[in-house]
Amino acid sequence: MRAGTRNLLGLPAVAVALLTALLTTAPPAAAGPLIGGHWAKDGLARAQIYFVDHTGANWPVGGTVNEWNKASGVDSYYVTSCPGSWLHCVNVWEWNDSGDNRYGVTFYNIGANGHFTSAEVWLNSGLARNATQTRKTACHEEGHVLGLDHQFTRTSCLMSGDAVANGISVYPSADDLATLKSLYAHGN
Ligand SMILES: [Zn+2]
Ligand SMILES: [Zn+2]
């Protein structure tokens, strides 16, 4: 597994079929790569995702969630406990293994209508050796949670790899935010 990639093991067969269908039909207008899921709005004007931070002070989960909250059509909240079991709560954990080449992992499942049914994030403290990398990794995994796949431009934290060595942004790109606006511009 290469560093920074999300884990696809949690993806059920139906989700793989949905992803294939998405990739072989019409991509969204903004053309950013997607992982094939998005969060339901549940009758609200915008989908709401609560990132529940269980990490230590080294991980800038609050600051990176605030950056993702700039996207239109989807609200990202930073909390330290889930405000309600009926809400879209995504636990963010850290682990420490310098022998594991993954900076972070996002697990997710996709159910009916392409809606995520669950997601959780793990951030590897054993690899993130500086504040630039922790910020980039948190931004990267949170972007997967919202539905974005990898980008191949340094202006997006969704590019994989070492942030310092490769000069990768620690922020979502304008294209990432436009892709989310397109992904969440639908009825439910
Ligand atoms: Zn990734
Ligand atoms: Zn939907």
Six-digit token string for 73: 């059509």
Q: What is the pLDDT of residue 187?
A: 76
Residue 188 and residue 185: Cα distance in Å, rounded? Answer: 9
- The CATH number assigned to the domain with range 13-179 reads 3.40.390.10
| Ligand closest to CA 102 | 1
Residue 186 and residue 26: Cα distance in Å, rounded? Answer: 15
| Ligand closest to CA 44 | 2
- How far is the centre of ligand 1, averaged over its atoms, from the C-alpha of 158 (Å)? 6
The Cβ of residue 136 has, within 10 Å, a number of other Cβ atoms equal to 30
Query: Which ranges in the chain belong to alpha helices (H)?
Result: 13-24, 61-68, 131-146, 163-166, 174-183
pTM: 0.84
Q: What is the pLDDT of residue 147?
A: 97
| Ligand closest to CA 186 | 2
- How far is the centre of ligand 1, averaged over its atoms, from the C-alpha of 159 (Å)? 7
- How far is the centre of ligand 2, averaged over its atoms, from the C-alpha of 139 (Å)? 23
Q: What is the pLDDT of residue 40?
A: 96
Q: Which residues surround ligand 2, an ion (CB under 5 A)?
A: 188
- Tell me the pLDDT tens digit for each residue of 146-188: 999 999 999 999 999 999 999 999 999 999 999 999 999 987 7
138 close to 106: Cβ distance less than 8 angstroms: no
Domain spans of the chain, in order of start: 13-179
Coil/strand/helix, residue 55: coil
Per-position pLDDT tens, the chain of length 188: 233 334 433 444 344 343 433 433 333 344 578 999 999 999 999 999 999 999 999 999 999 999 999 999 999 999 999 999 999 999 999 999 999 999 999 999 999 999 999 999 999 999 998 999 999 999 999 999 999 999 999 999 999 999 999 999 999 999 999 999 999 998 77
- How far is the centre of ligand 2, averaged over its atoms, from the C-alpha of 2 (Å)? 30
> Measured between alpha carbons, how far is residue 165 from residues 126, 138, 149 in Å?
17, 17, 21
